[in-house]
Amino acid sequence: MSLTVSDILAHIESGADLFTIAPLMRHLISLKEHEDGYDQLLELVRNDTALSVRLLRAVNSSREQNEFDSDIRAAFDKLGYQYVRNMALTTPFLDDQDESDENDPEFRVQWVWERTLCVAEAACALAQRAGLPDPSLYRTAALLMDIGVHFMLSSFPKEYTPLVDRWRVEGGDLTDIETDSIGIEHRAVGYQLTRAWNLGPAIEQALRRQVAGDEADPSILDPGILSLAQLSAAALFEGSHTTGLERAARMANDKLGLQHSEFVDLLQRVTLIADGASVRL
């Protein structure tokens, strides 16, 4: 039986969760119970979609709608180290049976995790370059832009894994693959998740704009920066597709006045930051 929109919405309403990756969970377990591990735990939460979502859901659960927040550090400090550590330790994760086995489901989750982190770091760097306020909010929004991918891969691996495999190999726009295969886009799923999980107005508006485009209401964040961050990650993860890099470079020039060499340098710095986060796991 094929996957339907009703199946996905029902799964969201049932309280479905996101999975994190096994290396991150092992790092979490190794953290001390007292607050000497504050910086390490904050970094793990900031780098992981599942943990960031859990944190924002928790901090916004008792707030009025007009008070919802998307600030990861502020949410962390409000809930406290012990609460966040215990919350993180109860996050479901996929066991990495064989990290070198491309047929292992965790391999896809790890690949999406690394790609998402590159999007987040690119958004932060681009927002800083543009002189925009609160680059960390751009980072969080970018980290959650593909929340629908994480959700679909965690919740419907049988139906969705082949799509991620095509995306890894072919590159390009994942929504085209989704439309051809299952008729449901991860962006629409992500928007429904942000509404159901109370992730804050900046995140909700950013994902709504992905779905509705220019017809959406003006968003708190500059959608051009988030789009460029997505293109930048695509350029990094699609090494054989030079058109992706050139397209991103042209957009960086149009949007920020970056020369090609400056944009490449920015991508290299983003790669080093993201690789460093992966190595520390």
- Quick one: pLDDT at residue 277? 87
Q: Does 31 fall in a domain?
A: no
- What is the pLDDT averaged over residues 67-79? 87
**Does the structure show a pLDDT above 60 at 66?**
no
For 173, the domain range is 5-15+101-279
Residue 181 lies in a domain: yes
73 in any annotated domain? no
> Cβ distance 180 to 143 under 8 Å?
no
User: Would you put residue 200 in left (φ > 0), alpha (ψ -120 to 50) or beta?
Assistant: left
**What digits encode the pLDDT tens for the residues 34-60?**
777 899 999 999 999 999 999 999 999
User: Residue 216: its pLDDT value, please?
Assistant: 58
Q: Is residue 185 part of a domain?
A: yes
Residue 43 covered by a domain: no
Average pLDDT over residues 242-266: 89
* CATH number (domain holding residue 158): 1.10.3210.10
Number of domains in the chain: 1
SS3 readout for 32-69: CCCHHHHHHHHHHHHHCHHHHHHHHHHHHCCCCHHHCC
Domain presence at residue 163:
yes
Residue 102 banded pLDDT, cuts 50, 70, 90: low
Q: What is the pLDDT of residues 144-202, one digit of tens each?
A: 999 999 999 999 988 999 999 998 888 878 999 998 888 889 999 999 999 899 898 89
The average pLDDT across 101-110 equals 71
Mean pLDDT of 22-44: 87
Angle at 53 between CA 11 and CA 173, to 5 degrees: 75
Residue 71, domain member (yes or no): no
Question: Is there a domain that residue 184 lies in?
Answer: yes
